[in-house]
């Protein structure tokens, strides 16, 4: 029969399995390429200045407080603060921005970024495992070793599969040797082939290899996926909620309007408001104080400062009790705002946040504050909607303001006047309606909402990647990375499912062949060594398929006839309102003034009125993007 001995079978079986394992190891080694490339970014040595001497030491020996000398072309070895010198630093490995950033005394720098043209002395503030790069590497390593639910299911199947295959192998031997009366060597060959062919290796490799590649690839592009379980949820997202301030907008609000009651000077209002807000850390407060300081005002001291979450603040300035906040604060303190309510409504219709001011129970003014949209907001929203995802904006702003901002971005669904503590309950409400919700926020103020969402996407703002809340941390300040993260997660899960499908098809096709199903009719026998080769190639194919994720490229801004204009010709048709800094399309603008050979465009009549009163004040400002 040709099966009197199994010496050649044993030798070939071991050879083919070892060959398969070698190919598999090579392929699996490539799955960790991303993490190795991240680690390679780190400088290996540093030049520290101690006792006036420059000493080159291994990076591991640098301590917090050491002053490190960084010459042009060198990698900055640690996270720190510039204490001497001026240069430009390539931070593309963190921010993704190709243009170098100017750095001087007092500025922060990140380890592994590249000093371009000047000599810097940097005091180390974070070293070793505390640096931004080390945090990124650790986050990726933790995520790659975290088992998602789908992997646990695969492990459970594999645990059941093994005894089932043993049973099939024994049954195959008994069928051929006892029931069909065939030679025992033939029966043993079929039995061994079943054992070898049915190894659940491909099933076990499908998930971890795809996750390693997917998470590593994300890290290379500043998309830090913190858990494998998060990857599994991403393809099911049907709703995404964006916080407004600092997420859809740049997070640097600017005072654009001071509309005071009759008989009250705007400058006096600003001086008093700045005194109150100097005690607050709210972004709007910082904008007011910055604007007052920019005007060269001397800000008086405030006392008895009280902050009321979701309403505003109160303090005493120069003997007067001032309230600064929203209309609810005024209403709860029986302040009749009168005509200021109409002014506020007009500001809100232009997407501006309004702040009311009263003194001793009498209204003084309403401020208009605008925060410029990020360049990528419109592109990201449009891309998400094309993916079939419903987009919401959530904000504490008044409804009119929120609707105006949402309309400018293209968002149809608005949650306005939501206090910070209520954001999580709004997310929960969407979930109760059957939606799988992703929340995008800054990771600090939005922590409860990020935790409540099925997927929390936190903006790490470049140097802060240690955001506790959030399943995904975006290192770069680019909302297109939200789109990229969802695309990458979906592709990774597709590769996992393809691996499972291949493992299933392989076993369904090979087990009957290994058991001798085709032998009676066609004389076809799958010898054990070739069953081993098929098993090995099955595992290699699953790993190789996962490696195709390395071809993933992040989402880019739309191109084509429906895309936002990006050429210089198109951009040149967008003017800047000199009063409120809002964008104005020159082709459709109805309000403008000519002054000293320049045309200034306005978004609203009150902006034009303010300009026409003192045009010299705004002369020299940029009028076009």
Q: Percentage of the chain surpassing pLDDT 70?
A: 84
Domain of 287: which CATH number?
Answer: 3.40.1110.10
Nearest 5°: the CA angle 240, 136, 457 is 10
202 lies in some domain: yes
Report whether 254 contacts 367 (CB < 8 A): no
- The pLDDT, as a whole number, for residue 565 is 41
Q: Does residue 148 sit in the same domain as residue 290?
A: no
Same domain, 113 and 194: no
Same domain? For 581 and 499 the reply is no
Give the end of a domain, one of 501, 526, 551: 551
Taking only the tens place, the pLDDT of each residue in 87-104 is 888 877 666 566 688 899
With a CB cutoff of 8 Å and minimum separation 6, the contacts of 322 are: 272, 273, 275, 276, 302, 314, 315, 316, 357, 358, 359
State yes or no: pLDDT of 11 exceeds 80: no
For 193, the token pair is 């082939």
| DSSP codes joined into one string, 126-150 | E-GGGSHHHHHHHHHHHHHHPPPHH
Catalytic site positions: 243
pLDDT tens-digit map of 206-261: 788 888 888 888 888 888 888 777 888 899 999 999 998 888 888 788 888 888 88
Per-residue pLDDT reduced to its tens digit, 457-466: 988 654 454 4
CA atoms within 13 Å, Cβ hemisphere of 266: 13
Q: Is position 155 within any domain?
A: yes
Domain assignment present for residue 462? The answer is no
What is the distance between the alpha carbons of residues 249 and 405, in angstroms, rounded to a whole number? Answer: 10
pLDDT at 4 over 60: no
Taking only the tens place, the pLDDT of each residue in 33-90 is 655 666 667 788 899 988 888 889 998 899 899 999 998 888 889 899 999 999 888 8
Residue 621 has pLDDT above 80, yes or no: no
- Tally of domains within the chain: 4
pLDDT at 524: 85
pLDDT at 359 over 80: yes
494 and 538 in a single domain? The answer is: yes
State the Cα–Cα distance between residues 287 and 387, nearest whole angstrom: 36
Residue that finishes a domain, picked among 370, 390, 406 = 370
Task: Give the pLDDT band of residue 570 (cuts 50, 70, 90).
Answer: very low
Residue 353: what pLDDT?
87
- Same domain? For 363 and 270 the reply is yes
Instruction: Say if residue 17 is in the same domain as residue 166.
Output: yes
CATH number at 62 reads 2.70.150.10
Q: Is residue 563 part of a domain?
A: no
Are residues 353 and 265 part of one domain?
Answer: yes
286, 358: one domain? yes
Instruction: Tell me: do 186 and 316 sit in the same domain.
Output: no
Q: Which two tokens stand for residue 286?
A: 């910082």
Residue 447 lies in a domain: no
Q: Is residue 428 part of a domain?
A: no
Same domain, 338 and 195: no
Res 24 pLDDT > 60: no
Last residue of a domain, one of 370, 391, 412: 370
**Same domain, yes or no: 259 and 202:** no
Q: pLDDT digit string (tens) for 482-538?
A: 999 999 999 999 998 898 888 888 878 888 888 888 888 888 888 888 887 888 788
Structural domain including 594 reads 568-618
Q: Let me know if residue 610 belongs to a domain.
A: yes
Those residues with Cβ within 8 angstroms of residue 449's Cβ, 6 or more apart along the chain or in another chain? 241, 243, 394, 423, 424, 426, 427, 439, 441, 456
- One domain, residues 204 and 349: no
Residue 446 is assigned to a structural domain of this protein: no
């Amino acid at each position: 029969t040709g099966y009197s001995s199994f010496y050649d079978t044993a030798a070939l079986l071991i050879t083919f399995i070892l060959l398969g394992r070698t190919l598999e190891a090579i392929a699996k080694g490539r799955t960790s390429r991303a993490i190795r490339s991240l680690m390679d970014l780190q400088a290996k040595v540093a030049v520290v200045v101690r006792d006036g001497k420059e000493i080159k030491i291994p990076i591991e020996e640098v301590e917090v407080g050491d002053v490190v000398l960084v010459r042009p072309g060198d990698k900055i070895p640690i996270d720190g603060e510039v204490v001497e010198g001026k240069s430009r630093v390539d931070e593309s490995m963190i921010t993704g921005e190709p243009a170098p950033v100017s750095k001087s005394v007092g500025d922060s720098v990140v380890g592994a970024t590249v000093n371009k043209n000047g000599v810097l002395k940097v005091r180390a503030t974070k070293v070793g495992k505390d640096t931004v790069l080390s945090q990124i590497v650790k986050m990726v390593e933790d995520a790659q070793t975290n088992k998602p639910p789908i992997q646990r299911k695969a492990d459970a199947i594999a645990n059941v599969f093994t005894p089932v295959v043993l049973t099939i192998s024994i049954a195959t031997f008994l069928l051929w040797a006892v029931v069909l009366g065939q030679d025992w060597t033939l029966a043993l060959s079929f039995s061994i082939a079943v054992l070898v062919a049915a190894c659940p290796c491909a099933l076990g490799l499908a998930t971890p290899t795809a996750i390693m590649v997917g998470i590593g690839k994300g890290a290379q592009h500043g998309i830090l996926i913190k858990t494998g379980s998060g990857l599994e949820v991403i393809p099911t997202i049907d709703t995404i909620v964006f916080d407004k301030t600092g997420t859809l907008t740049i997070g640097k609000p600017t005072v654009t309007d001071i509309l005071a009651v009759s008989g009250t000077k705007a400058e006096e209002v600003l001086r008093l408001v700045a005194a109150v807000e100097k005690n607050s850390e709210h972004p709007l407060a910082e904008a007011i104080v910055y604007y007052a300081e920019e005007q060269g005002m001397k800000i008086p001291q405030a006392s008895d400062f009280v902050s009321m979450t979701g309403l505003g603040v109160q303090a005493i300035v120069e003997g007067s009790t001032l309230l600064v906040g929203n209309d609810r604060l005024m209403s709860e303190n029986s302040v009749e705002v009168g005509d200021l309510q109409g002014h506020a409504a007009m500001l809100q219709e232009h997407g501006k946040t309004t702040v009311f001011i009263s003194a001793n129970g009498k209204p003084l003014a309403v401020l208009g504050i605008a925060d410029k949209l990020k360049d990528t907001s419109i592109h990201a929203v449009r891309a998400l909607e094309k993916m079939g995802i419903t987009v919401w904006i959530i904000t504490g702003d008044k409804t009119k303001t929120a609707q105006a901002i949402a309309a400018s971005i293209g968002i149809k669904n608005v949650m306005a006047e939501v206090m910070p503590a209520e954001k999580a309950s709004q997310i929960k409400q969407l979930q109760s309606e059957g939606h799988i919700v992703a929340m995008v926020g800054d990771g600090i103020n939005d922590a409860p909402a990020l935790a409540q969402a099925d997927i929390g996407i936190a903006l790490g703002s470049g140097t802060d990647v240690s955001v506790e809340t959030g399943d995904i941390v975006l290192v770069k300040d680019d909302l297109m990375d939200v789109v990229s993260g969802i695309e990458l997660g979906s592709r990774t899960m597709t590769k996992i499912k393809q691996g499972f499908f291949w493992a299933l098809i392989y076993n369904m096709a090979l087990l009957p062949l290994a058991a001798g199903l085709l032998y009676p009719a066609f004389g076809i026998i799958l010898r054990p060594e070739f069953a081993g080769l098929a098993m090995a190639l099955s595992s290699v194919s699953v790993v190789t398929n996962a490696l195709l994720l390395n071809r993933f490229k992040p989402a880019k801004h739309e191109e084509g006839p429906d895309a936002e204009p990006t050429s210089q010709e198109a951009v040149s048709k967008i003017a800047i309102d000199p009063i409120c800094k809002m964008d104005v399309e020159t082709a459709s603008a109805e309000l403008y003034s000519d002054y000293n050979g320049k045309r200034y465009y306005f978004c609203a009549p009150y902006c034009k009125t303010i300009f026409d009163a003192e045009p010299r004040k705004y002369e020299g400002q940029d009028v076009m993007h």
